[in-house]
Every structure is written in structure tokens, then in C-alpha cells.
Structure 1
Amino acid sequence: MSHRTADPLAESATAQMPDGYAYVELDEAASVGHALLAEECALAIAYNGISHAVMMVSPSALEDFIVGFSLTSAVVGAAKDIYDIQVRRAGEAFSAEVQIASRAFWTLKQQRRSLAGTSGCGLCGVEALEQALPQLDTLSVNPLPPAAHLADLRTRIGEMQKLARQSGALHAALFVDELGEIVLCREDIGRHNALDKLIGALSRESRDARSGFAVVTSRCSLELIHKAVRAGFASLVSLSAPTDLCVRWARRHRLNLIHLPHHSVPRIYSPAPARG
């Protein structure tokens, strides 16, 4: 099996500055800091020229990932069935052309009919980079939530997560209205599912997504940015730090993006801090 990375940048896809992404602390001092964020990219995988999946991954050890994915997804029965891997980079995305044994490819084609709808990772399983990195409308500029509406938010979220208190292992997506009150909470084992539920609840109750802001308790990855922009939220608050790609897309599409750390004041990543 031969492995070739066509673009040397594929081994290090970092697009952020050495000192990380700038943010401004949401308090009276409005101090500006920098933080290094986890990297995220779209990786399109094709077997013997047939597009199979697009995964959102960290851009390191991509060939290791491709081999492991091929094995654990039963695309191949053994690593020896993988003859060649070529990884190329195009902007924020990577593509991998994988050559596999004829018998493995025949089995894969038989399996493809059952793959739709089985993914649990949001973007995992879509078959085109256009779906992983879609064209989105740019939002209108909206004010940030008042700092007071973020006060004790972690505690208040915990009180709203009724299912999680019973079983654990559940993400939540919540909506905070214009008065700073949590009016909706939806929970799910999948972070993207929880946000979809929240968006559906807002629609069914005829609530304006711009009148408040959404909160997600999970890692803030790109598919959540997609959903928030498509739903028309003015602001998205995440309890976990966003990835670098999330910050770039939030800024590009004018989605206010705020990280609420455990023991620090909120950090505004989008809009970008004004340069001093």
C-alpha cells in the first residue's frame, strides 16, 4: 500500500495565527486575548473513483484516519485491501482518493444502499464537499446579547436539562429570549439533533430566532454553525470552545459567536475584535 500526500500543507492545515484567535472579554474592561482553537476540516473520501463520504475531522494523521475509517466501516476487511491513498488539499477542504481491492469495492457498492441516514456525526456520511461546506446566506448585523443574559447561564442550563439529570450523556440546545429567560430546551444524544429539535420548536411556536439567542452545551463544530445561520439566529453561545473553522465561518456569515468558559467571562469570537 502506498500513501501520497499531494499537498505538503495537508499535514498541517492550520490557518490561524501562531498566537491563536483574538477574542474580547465581555466585561467592562473589554480586554482582548488570544486562544488557540482546535482545527477542523472537511475530508472527502472516494474509493476507486466513487465518492463515499465527507467527514469533519482534525487535519492531522489523515492517512491513519482513512485506513481506520475504511476498516471500522467495513469498507475493507484488512489493511492489505487498500492499495493506494492520495490526499489533496483545496482551500478549507481535503480530498482523498483511495484505491481498494476489487472484491472490497464490490462489497462496498452492495453496502451503499444502506448507508443513508445512519450517520450520528452530523456531516458524516454526506457525499459531496458542497454539502460539508455549503453556500450560506449572510446574516444581517445584529447586536450581541446583553452580558446580564449570560450571567449564571451554566447553572440555569443545568436546571433546564431534565433528561440529562436522569440519564446523562445528552447534549442540549436552548433558546434565551429577549428578556434573558430560557424559554425552550431540547435534548438529544447528538449535538446536531438537539439543535434541530430547538429550531423545530421555535418554528412550531412561531418564535423569531433573532429575538434571542441559541445556546449549545456541546462542542461547537461547523455543522452547528450551518444550522444556526440557516435558522437565522443572531447569536450562538457555546459552552465549549469553537474550532478555528467555526470562527471563520461565523465571522464570514455575521453570526455572533460567543464561548462561555467554565471559570472566565464570556469570549466573543464573532464579530472579530476591532484592531487597536
Structure 2
Amino acid sequence: MNASQPAVAVPAEQVPEASHSYDYCDLAGQAPGHAALAEEVALAIAFNGISQAVMLVSPGDLEDFVVGFSIGSGIVQDASEIYDIRLSGCGAAWQAEVEIASRAFWALKDHRRQMAGTSGCGLCGVEAVEQALPELPVLPATSLPPLQWLAGLRDRISAFQPLGRHCGAVHAAVFMGSDGELLLGREDIGRHNGLDKLIGALAQQKIPATGGIAVVTSRCSLELIQKALRAGLGTLVSLSSPTGLAVQWARQHHLNLIHLPHHSAPRVYSPALEKRP
């Protein structure tokens, strides 16, 4: 995939539906019924012919997910290092063949070689910790969004959650523009996947993420902070509480982190409030 050649898309009729209706029986009265449930598929991702990961994802917006996963996981620095994406599969089994720049591929191979080389020497735990707690760039300081931009946000994002409204069991990530309007949203069964899809969609639609605001409906853990940092987002708003480590990392890396509780005012965890005398 590059500026002149978009990713290869799977024909719409081959993409699995996001949800299906399933029959059930009531445990107490055995009354039959049916409900719409969100679907998931296994997506195997290979970079330049080498398998990297198998992820369980919602079947929609798979190209966005692959781009966002590549950026959010640090495999590429930005979308310009992704030259092509080829999706194939059927039913619950799908594959993504991704062609990336040589620099990114050699860095990926070198990392995999280091991990394999330490598997029997007692250092694999150290490598795993370094992978979980990587060094990431500190962002330029970004102004906090005005309070009115967050007013009614829980209701406003419902327009970007068609699958969630239909059957539940999915998370959403939504991008807010510079005027407080919600511009773009993605859904997925995985909370990480939803943000990956949003980052990928922004990259593919050439909407700058740098300094922007993302809203996530899921619990805000460290992995979401890391993905936001790699994408260059300036502010992350979470509808659920962040973890302590997420707050620490957000403060250390100048990422604005805001929790939007159900029945109280938004809570700004990062930047930290200055101590008053």
C-alpha cells in the first residue's frame, strides 16, 4: 500500500457479516428466543512472508485494523512503510499478507531473532518486560480539550456504534476533530483492536492523528496508552477508569488522559495537577 496504490480489498460479498441471530432458551422457563450476537474471526498477519500474529477480531474494517496494528505495535513508524495489504480467507479463518519497507522488516526480524536467542538462557523474561515496557517518544504538550467538547459524549458516540447498539459485546474508538465534532469511529470485540482500527482508518484516510483526540469505550490499560503514543495522539478520553500504570505512562509521555465517569465531571489524570501550597 502506498500513496498511489491502495490496499487490495476483499469483495464485499466475501466479508463475513458482523453479527448473526442465534436461538436460545430461557433457563427458568425454557422459553425460546433469539438474539443478535457479534461475530469474530481469526486473522493471521504475516509481514513480508513471515507470520507475526493471529488476532481475534470483528470481521469489519480489516484493512484499517492491519494498518493500525502495524503502527500501534511499533512494527512500522507510519503508514508510508506499508506498501501493500492482501486479505484472503473465508468463514472464521482469514489471512493478511502485508508488505512493509525493508527497514521496518529488518528491525522486526532482528527483534524476533533476539527473542529466540534468549529462550533458553533465563533472559527471556527480561526481553518480555522490555517488549511490554518499550521506550517511546515523549509527545509535545497538547492543550486539554474544552469542557463543552465532552458534554454528552456518551450519547454522541452512539452514532459511531451501530454494531454495539445492535448486539452489544463490542468496544468502540472514536476520533474527535479540532472543533470537538466526532469525525470517525471503529468497533471491535477487542478493546485494543478498536483503537488499532481507528488509527488505521485515520492513516488510510490521511486524517492527521498528531495532537488529536481519541475516545475509547473500554478500560484504559497501558497497551492503549502505548498505541496512542505511537500514533501521536495528544489526548485519550476513556469512558472507563484507567489503570495506575496507564496514568504514570501518560504523565511521563505528555499524553492527556481523561476519564469520563457516568455521573460526575471528567477527571483529568494527565497532566498531573500541580501541588498547591
Category of TM-score, reference length = shorter chain? 0.5 to 0.7
1:265 alignment counterpart: 265
Q: What is the correspondence of 1:18-33 to structure 2 with a 5 Å cutoff? A: none
**CA drift at 1:157:** 1.1
Alpha-carbon separation, structure 1, partners of 2:210 and 2:150: 16
CA distance in 1, matches of 2:152, 2:212: 17
Alpha-carbon shift at residue 216 of structure 1 (Å): 0.4
Look up the match of 1:167. Answer: 167
Q: Quick check: 2:187–2:194 contact (8 Å CA) kept in 1?
A: yes
- How many Å separate the matches in 1 of 2:253 and 2:138? 4
Aligned positions, number: 160
Deviation at 1:210, TM superposition (A): 3.2
**TM-score calculated relative to the size of structure 1:** 0.55
| Structure-2 separation of matches of 1:224 and 1:232 | 12
Q: Is the 2:210–2:231 Cα contact (8 Å) retained in structure 1?
A: no
> Residue 232 of structure 1 aligns with which residue?
232
2:53 paired residue number: 117
1:119 shift after superposition: 5.8
Whole-Å Cα distance in 1 between the matches of residues 172 and 203 of structure 2? 17
- Which residue number corresponds to residue 157 of structure 2? 157
Residues 141-185 of structure 1: per-residue CA shift (max 9 Å, x gap)? 110111111000000112320111112100000001011111101
> Given the superposition, is the C-alpha separation of residues 129 and 211 from structure 1 closer, same or farther in structure 2, using an over 3 Å criterion?
closer
**Which residue matches 2:249?**
249
**TM-score normalised according to structure 2 size:** 0.55
**Over residues 13-63 of structure 1, what are the superposed CA-to-partner deviations in whole Å (9 max), with x where a residue is unaligned?**
xxxxxxxxxxxxxxxxxxxxxxxxxxxxxxxxxxxxxxxxxxxxxxxxxxx
Q: Is the 8 A contact 1:173 1:186 kept in 2?
A: yes
Cα deviation, 1:65-117, whole Å, max 9, x if unaligned, reads xxxxxxxxxxxxxxxxxxxxxxxxxxxxxxxxxxxxxxxxxxxxxxxxxx962
**Residue in 1 that maps onto 2:190:** 190
Q: Which runs of 5+ in 1 are unaligned?
A: 1-114
Q: CA deviation at 1:193?
A: 0.5
| 2:216 maps to 1:216 | yes
Q: How does 1:100-111 map to 2 (within 5 A)?
A: none
SS in 2 for 1:199: helix
User: Corresponding residue for 1:64?
Assistant: none
Which residue identity is paired with 2:162? K
Query: Secondary structure of the equivalent of 1:141?
Result: coil
Counterpart residue identity of residue 53, structure 2? G
Structure 1 vs Structure 2: percent identity of aligned residues?
58
- One-letter identity of the residue aligned with 1:219: R
CA RMSD of aligned residues (A): 2.2
Q: Secondary structure at the match of 1:173?
A: strand
Query: What is the rounded CA distance, in whole Å, between the counterparts of 1:210 and 1:150 in structure 2?
Result: 19
CA distance, structure 2, for counterparts of residue 272 and residue 229 of structure 1: 17
Q: Which runs of 5+ in 2 are unaligned?
A: 1-50, 58-68, 74-114, 116-123
